[in-house]
């Protein structure tokens, strides 16, 4: 099992305006999804998606549109105090191998 976070960011709004969802990945697919922070952009229902579909989602290129949007993923990091999963650094263009690692 792996925990990741997804967000849709853009070139206009601030971080507090971007939604974040927590994803649980097991056996090559997303098994659960939980909204961590509501934002201006709605999310797909990721449950049932394969890691290949999730990797493709992270390759969305909004260059040239307004606002430029970015589909980003982050691996979970675990808080030392209570062990809670928090998001690491968000970025786009993930590979299947990186998601499965």
Q: Read off the DSSP letter of residue 25.
A: E
Report the predicted TM-score, pTM, of the whole model to 2 decimal places: 0.90
- The 10s digit of each residue's pLDDT in 53-87 is 999 999 987 878 888 899 999 999 887 677 778 88
* CA–centroid distance for 7 within its chain: 5
- The answer, yes or no, to whether residue 48 has pLDDT greater than 70, is yes
Tokens of 20: 């974040």
Query: Looking at the 3D structure of the chain, how many domains does it have?
Result: 1
From 95, 54, 72, select the one nearest 18 (Cα to Cα): 72
Q: Domain range spanning residue 33?
A: 2-100
Percent of the chain with pLDDT over 90: 73
Of the CA atoms within 13 Å of residue 32, those in its CB half-sphere come to 8
């Amino acid at each position: 099992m792996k925990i990741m976070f997804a967000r849709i960011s853009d070139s206009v709004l601030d971080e507090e305006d971007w939604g974040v969802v927590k994803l649980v990945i097991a056996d090559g697919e997303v098994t659960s999804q939980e909204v961590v922070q509501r934002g201006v952009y709605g999310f797909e229902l990721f449950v049932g998606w394969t890691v290949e579909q999730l990797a493709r989602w992270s390759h969305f290129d909004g260059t040239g549109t307004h606002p430029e949007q970015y589909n980003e993923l982050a691996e979970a990091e675990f808080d030392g105090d209570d062990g809670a999963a928090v998001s690491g650094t968000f970025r786009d263009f993930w590979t299947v191998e990186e998601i499965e690692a």
